[in-house]
Chains A and B, each alone.
Chain A
Amino acid sequence: MKTNKIFISGDEAVAQGVKLCRPHVIAAYPITPQTITVERLSEMVEAGEMDGIYMHVESEHSAISATMGASAVGARTFTASSSQGLLYMAEGLHYCSGGRWPVVMMNANRSVALPWSIYGDQRDSLSLLDCGWIQVYVEDAQEALDMMIQAYKIAEHKDVLTPMMVNLDGFILTHTYELVDIPEQKMVDEFLPVFETPNKMSFEEPKNLGFSSKPDDNTEFKYQQNEAMFKAIDVIRDVDQEFAEKFGRKYYDMVEEYRCDDAEVVLVALGSVCGTIRVVVDKMRAAGKKVGLLKIRYMRPFPETEVKDLARRVHAIGVIDKDISFGYEGTVYTNVNSAISKIDKYVYKSNFVGGLGGRDITKEEIEEMFEKLFFGVKNKSEEKVEFFSLNVESND
């Protein structure tokens, strides 16, 4: 397959991907580390490389509102945010999924104040898991670009009609330069059809949208929204397959297993840290240790089947969380644990919380996690939630 590789950052890769999807309306508000994406898109609009309208909204609340408005008349839309901005959108995020408007957004995963931090962790998007958006986490700039193209096809599918958030780790992905293949416009046009939706206002068929419901029907609306999320699982699979056939890159749909086939101990993680885990897995495998990685790509809909399937085959599962639900445990862990609890087998589990506010997760730390999991299985240790590499004294 012919390639056209250029050296760009994750943010720029997102902009390139969005441009190829020909959105009609882009509305976004700047926030580090998302800014480069919206700057590039503005330049593309100015240069006439894109036909869409770039709206200079005065806040993230307006960014999500404007994209919903445009979507409600049948336009394809894009927004991007991060951290404080994403939280400022929270009302609109729920509104958008409830309105079944397939807005696509990029979120640069960044810590949430206080204390202020512009650096990465995943507390922003994970705290909004329940807002009804499809959430995917990517590992590198190429995947970021490719997922923009896949996102429109998934979100706009008639059985799905649900907005989608593509998450990139702040700085680690948004600001790191990589060689990225830019697909041909013609191929993207063939892959991604023009946006058609029955869920829009039009003069041929006027509609009242965004209405109130009574207790008699609210549950039914929410049921259908939930069903659409489950239907998205098949669509995600089909779209990834079709994408692989067209562009030669496959992302293993809901999750990606790395050297899990005969693994005894596996780490589960989201996003860029998976790259580091792969290196550690290779090293430990070379030393004869049966370790593997489960990269969760989609947090919503959640890959329950895949997690259960893996849990049936291994002795221990450790979950890395770049977030914490205060007073309990990491959110990824809660979700993984819930899936594991539905199989008829004991698996030793551990939750490693860290990498918060931009702290690196090192190869040494990952190796230690694998060792702790082996130790835990062997010694039937108590399962726990551990903040790793703490500089203050832990209570246990």
Chain B
Amino acid sequence: MTNLVDIPKVNAKNMTEKEYFYGHKACAGCGGSVAVRLALKVLGERTYTALPAGCMSAVGFIYPQMAFNTNALITTFPGAASMASGIAAGAKALGQKDVKTVVFAGDGGTADIGFQALSGMIDRNDDVLYICYDNEAYMNTGIQKSGLTPYGTKTTTTPAGENLPGTITHKKNLFEIIAAHDIAYAATASIGYPQDFMNKVNKAKHTKGATFIHVYASCPTGWGTPTETSIEIAKDAVDCGLIFLAEYEDGEYKLNRNPKEFASVKDYLKKQGRFKHMTDEDIQCVTEHRDKKWARMRKQWL
């Protein structure tokens, strides 16, 4: 196995100026497209790129305007991991060397409908890097609740009203569910911390077999945020502790950031249209859930 510590770090100075994802039709300020763009800069030309139905495929492949400079294709919504597995197997059977297959899938495509195929892909340890860009709802179909939509979020299928505060469930523990497969490498990231994200992609690139990155990626359209705050808001999410940066490597969990104090959850929530309706009680519920989770992570992972 490659010693991941020795891999040269990616930074603003040494990263390529080549673009592999441009000319697409994502909304201004789209965080998902930032994640795809940055990851492909690390992965480079010899990449097979697979995207299930979702925003990034919808905005990237409108015939005849193709936005990927790498090899790329859209998969069925549930079939991203398995189609990518097939690509990797085909490439191997044909004797192709120095190739990476990468998936960019949304939170719905990953934690819900595509989960079975993803679990199979990790179980077989297929040589695929699976990146889930998490914008916390089914955006492509018009902002519906997914398994990664957090408590209190107003979506078009979890409207907030007199009786319900919007979404009434918390996010699935996706990262830990993936790690529980005993995967070779998994990480969480945020486009608010781009260098951290790119270096995690780089680690995964140099790891043979199945790897996974869960990257938090803002969506101004679905979140009700100004387009120019996308990076800032994705950073805020980490700083207030609702999103954490971690890795799972060699069977061990690692917390990459463990702040003594968190920034305000309320400030983070109140910047976004999707949380505007939340009462102090709702915010209390979100904060308590965060604290419980961090207490457990600190106890078990540190």
A interface, CB within 8 angstroms of B? 24-25, 27, 51-53, 55-59, 61-75, 77, 91-92, 95, 201-203, 206-214, 217
Contact = CB atoms under 8 A, between A and B. Distances in A.
A67 B81 CA distance: 12
A25 B67 CA distance: 29
Interface hub of A63, A95, A201, A211 (most chain B Cβ within 10 A)? A211
Contact of A72 (B61, B66, B87, B124): B87
A36 B49 CA distance: 35
Given A58-B120, A59-B116, A25 B89 contact: yes
A194 to B, nearest CB: 11
Given A72-B73, A203-B71, A55 B85 contact: yes
Nearest to A94: B76
Nearest to B68: A208
B63 A70 contact: no
A211 B62 contact: yes
Interface stretch (B90-98, B131-139, B167-175, B232-240): B90-98
A395 to B, nearest CB: 42
Interface hub of B63, B76, B82 (most chain A Cβ within 10 A)? B82
B275 interface: no
A55 B86 contact: yes
Top 6 A-B residue pairs of the complex, sorted by shortest distance between their CB atoms: A69-B86, A70-B90, A66-B86, A58-B120, A62-B82, A65-B79
Contacts of A77: 86, 90
Contact of B86 (A27, A91, A203, A208): A27
Interface string B27-60: 0000000000000000001101010000001101
Contacts of A74: 90, 94
A73 B90 contact: yes
Nearest to A103: B86
13 contacts: A65-B117, A66-B83, A66-B85, A69-B87, A69-B88, A72-B73, A206-B69, A206-B71, A209-B72, A209-B74, A210-B61, A212-B63, A213-B63
Given A65-B117, A208-B66, A209-B73, A25 B90 contact: yes
B70 interface: yes
Contact of A53 (B60, B61, B81, B89): B89
B73 A203 contact: no
